[in-house]
């Protein structure tokens, strides 16, 4: 008995260290994911000049990234409930690298760029929901908003880190070198993840478990999947995420060009400015996750902590985006920063809300399908924006119309999510019994991890 008591603190410390390491690696995984998305917009000027592209053609390249994005997110999302996170995430990172490296070849033109962006999108589609799912295996119920916020903040880090580096490499070695650099980084991450990464001791809501779903989870009664995806929580979260991801895709593809061509900033200034929404996003995401985490631990309902508080963020983003083309240059930058960052602050709250209503064995698939449907907006946004700009009498008018459309989506998503996201109610309908309190509730004890 004494030996067991003595070994428990050591096992708990080991679990905490592994959890911090894995969470850091998952955040870096999303950093690379975001940088891969951002690199096209950051090198848009040289690419358009080098390949002599119209706005619609450039929008087609940007949208092609999302052609298989949703299908891949759904397919691999279902695999996430059956295959361990360690090999699955490593394979995704290697696919990213394989898609980026061919762009180093001088012969890579419009068609090849479309093909490589399609392949990259297929590899990146499942990345974000699987990173969240893996992070959730290290945390018990009611403690998932904050780790999800850390993972989401990785997207901000990707833009902040990528912007100056990509511009520097592009100006020094050419725009193709920036794509090659990100491909090499993906290979390095995969090697480190295979050595240090993996799933944690919590699976679904069953408390301690292994890296793969436990037999106990398979034996638990489970609501049909269709019931999960027809709840107000899932539907409200998915539609709001659709609007948020439309905004992010617009920002990745067109914001650098808008800042350069319409706002009159230089390349060097743009490389710094595009990082400001990312920094704001990181602050808002982490703050929203921490506040929701604290509210839930104090007994505030999930509808308030995850639904209503979360809905206020895309509402703020939509209002700011409406104003960006109607104000003077003095307040343009603050409005742009909030417009392209505030909405994503809702994301960790909606992810946690979906996770908390899911029965065992449904979480990865539910997160993957929600993300896949929301990501359809990313397929549409860059291309639709390009068509709007080409069809407008001037580029300034075109950007204004595109921004107004996006603002309308954000505000609509905020209103719907405020009314529909009710995790407490939906969990009662889907889960056969209240969540089992794990050792992490109210104590510092941690379950051990067996690798």
- pLDDT on residue 311: 95
CA nearest to 97, candidates 167, 30, 189: 189
In sequence order, which ranges of 325-422 are alpha helices (DSSP H)?
Answer: 329-339, 347-357, 363-391, 395-420
- pLDDT on residue 438: 34
In terms of C-beta distances under 8 Å and separation of at least 24 residues, what long-range contacts does 331-334 make, across chains too? 332/263, 333/273, 333/276
Residue 149 CB contacts under 8 Å (≥ 6 apart), including other chains: 285, 286, 288, 289, 290, 348
* Residues in the chain with pLDDT values less than 50: 1-5, 204-221, 434-451
- pLDDT on residue 214: 43
- pLDDT on residue 252: 81
- pLDDT on residue 155: 67
- For residue 182, CA distances in Å to 18, 71, 86 come to 26, 24, 21
Rounded Cα distance between 61 and 312, Å, is 33
Q: Which residues share a beta bridge with 208?
A: 202
- pLDDT on residue 432: 64
- pLDDT on residue 187: 92
Rounded Cα distance between 437 and 428, Å, is 16
- pLDDT on residue 88: 87
Taking only the tens place, the pLDDT of each residue in 320-368 is: 999 998 888 889 999 999 999 999 889 889 988 998 888 767 777 788 7
Handedness of CA 102, 113, 372, 410 (dihedral sign): positive
- pLDDT on residue 442: 35
């Amino acid at each position: 008995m004494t030996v067991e008591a003595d070994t428990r603190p050591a096992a708990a410390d080991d679990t905490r260290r592994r959890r911090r390491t894995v969470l850091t690696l998952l955040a870096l995984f999303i950093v690379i994911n975001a940088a891969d998305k951002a690199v096209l917009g950051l090198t848009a000027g040289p690419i358009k000049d080098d390949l002599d592209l119209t706005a619609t053609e450039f929008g087609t390249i940007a949208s092609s990234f999302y052609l298989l994005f949703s299908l891949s997110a759904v397919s691999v999302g279902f695999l996430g409930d059956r295959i361990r996170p360690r090999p699955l995430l490593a394979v995704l990172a290697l696919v990213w690298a394989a898609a980026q490296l061919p762009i180093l070849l001088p012969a890579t033109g419009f068609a090849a760029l479309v093909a490589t962006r399609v392949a990259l999108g297929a590899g990146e589609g499942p990345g974000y929901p699987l990173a969240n799912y893996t992070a959730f295996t290290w945390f018990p119920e009611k403690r998932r908003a904050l780790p999800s916020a850390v993972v989401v903040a990785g997207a901000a880090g990707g833009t902040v880190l990528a912007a100056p580096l990509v511009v520097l490499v592009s100006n020094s070695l050419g725009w193709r070198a920036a794509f090659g650099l990100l491909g090499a980084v993906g290979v390095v991450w995969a090697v480190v993840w295979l050595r240090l990464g993996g799933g944690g001791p919590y699976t679904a809501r069953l408390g301690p478990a292994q890296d793969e779903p436990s037999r106990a989870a398979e034996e638990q009664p489970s609501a049909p999947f269709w019931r999960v995806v027809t709840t107000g929580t899932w539907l409200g979260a998915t539609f709001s995420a659709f609007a948020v991801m439309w905004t992010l895709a617009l920002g990745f593809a067109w914001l650098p060009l808008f800042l350069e061509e319409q706002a009159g900033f230089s390349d060097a200034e743009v490389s710094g400015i595009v990082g400001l929404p990312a920094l704001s996003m990181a602050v808002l995401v982490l703050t929203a996750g921490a506040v929701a985490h604290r509210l839930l631990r104090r007994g505030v309902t999930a509808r308030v902590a995850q639904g209503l508080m979360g809905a206020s963020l895309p509402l703020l983003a939509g209002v700011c985006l409406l104003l960006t083309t109607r104000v003077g240059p003095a307040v343009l930058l603050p409005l742009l920063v909030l417009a392209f960052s505030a909405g994503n602050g809702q994301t960790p709250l909606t992810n946690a809300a979906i996770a908390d209503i899911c029965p065992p064995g449904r979480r990865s698939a539910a997160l993957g399908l929600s993300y896949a449907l929301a990501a359809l907006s990313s397929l549409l946004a860059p291309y639709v924006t390009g068509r709007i700009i080409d069809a407008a009498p001037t580029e300034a008018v075109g950007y204004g119309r595109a921004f107004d459309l996006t603002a309308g989506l954000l505000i609509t998503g905020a209103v719907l999510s405020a009314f529909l996201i009710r995790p407490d109610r939906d969990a009662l309908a889907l889960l056969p019994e209240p969540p089992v309190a794990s050792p992490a509730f109210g104590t510092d004890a941690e379950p051990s991890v067996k690798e």
